[in-house]
Amino acid sequence: MNAVNDPGSPWPAATWPDSPRGAVPSPAVPNTAARPKIPGLTKTIVLVGLMGCGKTSIGRRLATVLQLPFRDADNEIESAAGCTVEEIFQRYGEAGFRDGERRVIARLLDEPVHVLATGGGAYIDTETRRLIRARGLSVWLHADLDLLLARTARRNNRPLLKQGDPRDILERLIKVRNPIYAEADLIVESDDSPPEETLDRVVAALHQHWSAVASQQAGVTTAEAVTAKEIPR
């Protein structure tokens, strides 16, 4: 990685990775052979949703099942900036963080197909959402308030939750963000069951989606072939 000064970046002398990083180690997932293969997987799978919904945990497991690299956008952002997400918020504010986040996610979406876990606010940014729609397949991990509250309470590095009562903040975020998350290509429920069960739901949703895409493409190809035969020569 080379340290460079990006004149459009709020992060001075940021370290921007100029080649794909190695895959993040993923936990072992049992019974992977029982899960269906995903046909025609041609886009990076982008997990979106509020903090605490399980994007990193499920993302690592999903990458293992699909035998793909895993990327965590927040980790990549911290590597690029040379400091933690919380420190970026403190130094440059949320607007500065979103600018850097947008740049890092754009770079990641240019990499070969992988599984990408994004931060809670990434998909809310209009430009980042456009990039994800164009280059990836978005999956919203939907979780209810109580579960999000319980999970986020386990860590104290959530800058947005330090601005007041966590329950009130999460309630406001749910009200504002959920309608936007609902624009994702796929929606999967994330509950308090074992993560492997959520993983199974994600894999099933991906399989159904890509099977439908493959069938549609096959139908178009067949129709084009029939039409070509009917054209008089």
Supply the pLDDT for residue 150. Answer: 92
**pLDDT by residue (tens digit) across 147-181?**
999 998 887 767 777 778 889 999 999 999 999 99
> Would the pTM count as exceeding 0.75?
yes
Radius of gyration of the chain (CA): 20
**The pLDDT of residue 110 is above 50:** yes
Q: pLDDT tens digit string along 52-93?
A: 999 999 999 999 999 999 999 999 999 988 999 889 988 998
Q: The domain at 41-230 falls in which architecture?
A: 3-Layer(aba) Sandwich (3.40)
Torsion of CA 46, 183, 179, 142, to 10 degrees: -40
Per-residue tokens: 203: 């894999």
Distance CA 77, CA 57 (A): 18
The β-bridge relationship of strands 2-3 and 15-16 is: antiparallel
pLDDT tens, position by position, 197-207:
999 999 999 99
pLDDT at 176: 96
pLDDT at 169: 93
pLDDT, tens only, 3-36 = 333 444 555 544 433 333 443 443 444 444 455 5
